[in-house]
Structure formats: structure tokens, C-alpha cells
């Protein structure tokens, strides 16, 4: 009985987390957070985006805004024992989104400074974004 319950729970949870099929007439942007951080889609061209797991945009020029949450390790802060969590927004503008292409957005940080990068299907770096503001969480 426990096995059946566990399998049923996994099936239900996996159904909730599936992404829609990409539209071949649009560009798809996957979000790749690190192991101990989170990355969420917020806005496309300053308009709220409904699904925080990815972006799907028309071909052409777009500004993407993400929310990136990460920990600054105590070695980057000073004499403290706990990491300091940062909650940041970053903007990335790219002029050549292509229909049917799949892109990947990766985020990270160096100390207190977050960064965001955009890669094409061949894992070639094609764009970088800028922080738009951070706060302590």
C-alpha cells in the first residue's frame, strides 16, 4: 500500500511540473539555476510573465527580467556564521531571438554581485545581463 501511495504521489507531482511543448514559431528560454539558488522568470519587455519556469518569446528583440536568489557565503561577508541571502532582479536584453530556437539562461554570483548569461543551443555565450536591484532576504 505504501508503494502505491508513493508512486501515485510521484505521478501527481511530476504532472504538476511538466513544461508545455515549445511553440515552433517562438523562441524558448530555459532557466538553469545553480544547486543552492533559485532563478525565476518575471517579465518580458516590462510585462509580467505568467510562468516562472521559462520564457517563450516572439522572434526579435526582447528584454527579459528574472528574479535570482542566492546565498553569500560567510567568507565573503566577514565574521559571521550564517550565509546572507540576496534577492535580486536582473535584466537581459537580446536582439536576435529566433523562432524554433532553444536558449538557456544561467545565473550565478561572485560575492554579493549577481550575474546572468544567455547561451544558444550550442552552449555558445550570446548575451549577458545586468543587475536591476538587490535586497537582503
Rounded mean pLDDT, 21-29:
92
Which band of pLDDT confidence, cut at 50, 70 and 90, is reported for residue 76?
A: low
pLDDT of 17 reads: 63
Question: How far apart are alpha carbons 55 and 106 in whole angstroms?
Answer: 13
The phi and psi torsions of 12 (rounded to 5 degrees) equal: -65, -45
Q: For residue 9, is pLDDT > 60? A: no
Q: For residue 7, is pLDDT > 50? A: no
Q: What mean pLDDT is reported for the chain?
A: 86
Amino acid at each position: 500500500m505504501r508503494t502505491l501511495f508513493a508512486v501515485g504521489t510521484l505521478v501527481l507531482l511530476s504532472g504538476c511540473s511538466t513544461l508545455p511543448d515549445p511553440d515552433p514559431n517562438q523562441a524558448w528560454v530555459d532557466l538553469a539555476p545553480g544547486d543552492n539558488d533559485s532563478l525565476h522568470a518575471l517579465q518580458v519587455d516590462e510585462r509580467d510573465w505568467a510562468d516562472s519556469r521559462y520564457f517563450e518569446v516572439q522572434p526579435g528583440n526582447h528584454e527579459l527580467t528574472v528574479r535570482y536568489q542566492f546565498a553569500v557565503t560567510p567568507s565573503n561577508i566577514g565574521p559571521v556564521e550564517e550565509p546572507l541571502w540576496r534577492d535580486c532582479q536582473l535584466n537581459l536584453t537580446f536582439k536576435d531571438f529566433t523562432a524554433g530556437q532553444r536558449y538557456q539562461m544561467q545565473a550565478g554570483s561572485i560575492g554579493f554581485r549577481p550575474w546572468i548569461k544567455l547561451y544558444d543551443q550550442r552552449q555558445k555565450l550570446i548575451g549577458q545581463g545586468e543587475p536591476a536591484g538587490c535586497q537582503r532576504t
